[in-house]
Amino acid sequence: METDSLSTHEIGEGLPVLIIHGWEMDGKVEERDFEPIFTKAPGFRRIYVDLPGMGTTPANNVKDLDDMHLRLVQFIDARLGKSKFLLVGSSCGGYLARALAQKYVEQVDGLLLRVPLIEPKDGLRDLDTFQPLVRNEQLMSSMPSEDKALLGDVLIQTPAYVKSLKAKYEEAVLPASKAADKEALDPIRADPRRYQISLASGNKHPKLLAPTLIICGRHDEAVGYRDSLRLLELYPRSTYVVLDRGTHAIPVDENGLFEALVRDWLTRVDEWRGCTER
């Protein structure tokens, strides 16, 4: 369904959950990881959105992340109005979700940030040099060249991990990346002035007091994890998790732990919403 200029896929009924994917990804990438959890947790209307130039949403002259933020604001105002809702954001989608949580602080009853982008400028990100945690040179040397090109550096070099990682890339990440409008998106990504949200810098909204979950990968090669430590002071009700074996692709094969964290967040949200005094 396409409405309010953003394509969406909605599943379920109940409290709206706006789910925002990462750069050059789409809503299907988020569905793959979150739907197995939400199907066991009734009462939520999941709204998987495609950002401009990604998925099935046309770029429509989008010029920077401020434009994307504005399109999301227009979408929320048109579709959710003054109702309460939850926000979920992955990577760059987490960056956008944080700005939206500031703007709609009275409406957001929960925030989930998965491997969130904190520092838009690549050169300022606090990243570690890649080192495999589990080495298997025989496995890696016998891997077909196309798989090596697809997967890049592999953190956990076991057959099970490689199989899970390859499935995630082939089923979700690669199709989304191929569908992305590179002509519109590449200039934004290449310009630090355009790949940031200037609108959020002057906001004076109070802290988000609703339950928050921040999931980071200890070995995240894209955004790292140390930059996100500052989020703890911004979200008083946050659970902050840094996963060993975790890369920017969380979850790969640690689905049980990922699900437990998300379900705990939903439980805290339910408790929060049940409070009469907030």
pLDDT (tens digit, 9 = 90+) per residue, 49-105?
A: 999 999 999 999 999 999 999 999 999 999 999 999 999 999 999 999 999 999 999
Domains located in the chain, CATH noted: 2-129+181-274 (3.40.50.1820)
Return the HEC string of 209-271.
Answer: CCCEEEEEECCCCCCCCHHHHHHHHHCCCEEEEEECCCCCCCCCCCHHHHHHHHHHHHHHHHH
Q: How confident is the model at residue 204 (pLDDT cuts 50, 70, 90)?
A: low
Q: What is the mean pLDDT of residues 244-257?
A: 92
Q: What percent of the chain has pLDDT over 70?
A: 95
Q: Is the pLDDT of residue 4 over 50?
A: no
Q: Is the pLDDT of residue 140 over 50?
A: yes
Report which secondary-structure segment, H or E, holds 20.
Answer: strand 15-20
Q: What is the mean pLDDT of residues 147-164?
A: 94
The pTM for the full model equals 0.94
Bridge partners (DSSP) of residue 216 are 242
pLDDT at 65: 97
